Every structure is written in structure tokens, then in C-alpha cells.
Structure 1
Amino acid sequence: MTTGIGDGVAIPHCKTAEATRFVIALGIHPGGIDFDSLDKKPAHLIFLLVGPDNEPGMHIRLLSRISRIISKAPVRDRILACSKAEEVYQLINEEENNAFEVKTP
């Protein structure tokens, strides 16, 4: 099964007993990389998720959060337009806060 989900995004992921915590990395390739994506287009944003194999629930939640944030074309475009890692980090943090903001009555 491919981890190229389409729209220029791939999310390769694994669980291993060697991992003691979750780590997420983002690779950006302006020209794109063939990930055998569902839409047959190259991946420009590659999110790598590695975590402990004894926390499958958290693994799924993190995959879901990444997918939800990156599902919006404007967000993907803004990430690709960033010139510094700090800009990407700030943008993703803002999007995560907006997407998963706790609403109080």
C-alpha cells in the first residue's frame, strides 16, 4: 500500500520497538518525488512519522492530525512557498492550533 496520499503529499510511517517517542519530520522537494501516489502525481511534501510500536492509538491520531492539517490546498501552497524551516514550523503550529482549538462555552 502506498503512503503517497495524493495532492503532492506522502506520509511514510512506521512503528518500531526501537523508538521511545514519536518523531515527525517534513521533507520538502519542489520538483516532487515519485511515491506511487494515489493520484499518480509526485509528492512535494513528505511527512515522516516514526513511533513506538506499543502506542498504536497515538500513531493513528498523529497520522490523522497530519492529514487534516495538510488536506487544505492553501496550507500546502504556503508550506511550499516558505524559504526557512522556522517559517514552516510556525505555519504548521498555527494550522494545528486552528484545526484543533479547544472551544469553551
Structure 2
Amino acid sequence: MSNSSIDEIQELIQKVSGELGDMSQAASHHIDELHMAVNNVASHVLAMEAILSLVVQKIDIEEAEVLQWIRDKTAAFAEDSSEGSAAEGIAQSLLGKES
């Protein structure tokens, strides 16, 4: 193998290595953005839960109606309707009626 062939191979290896580094940095940046977005959504949900918890303390809300509303809205996606969903558990928690 000639020196020029070895030089070309080394150049290609360096190019591939650089491109892999760029891809790694881009993936890391996207993960950071996704992490920030998830934290943003979680903060909004927590704020809404806080407000709803206080509203529930001031007005009477029927737990059965809330759970039925959740079941109606999620029926198409439910795998096992005999099992309570996470949403139902969260609603009961917000109503102060954990099972």
C-alpha cells in the first residue's frame, strides 16, 4: 500500500471521526432541549395541580363524576378497563381521596 493511500485513509478516518463528533454534539444538544421542555411541562402541570387542589377545597366535586369523565375520555386507549388509570389515581389525590 502506498503512502498516498495510507494518507487518504487517515484523512477519511479523521473526517469520519469529526463527523461523528459533530453528530454526538448535536444529539447532546437535542437531549438538553428535550430535558428543558419536559421540565417546563412538569412545572406547568405542578402549578395547575396546586391551583386545582385549592379550588377543590372550596367547592364540592363528585369523585365518581371525575373518574367517569376520565374513563370516557380514555376508553379508546385503555388496555384493561377494570384497572384504575394513573389519571384516576392523580384525580383522587387532587380530590384528597386517595384509595
The answer to whether the superposition gives a TM-score over 0.5 is no
Please give the TM-score of this superposition, normalised by the length of structure 1.
0.25
Which of 1 and 2 has greater Rg? 2
Please give the TM-score of this superposition, normalised by the length of structure 2.
0.26
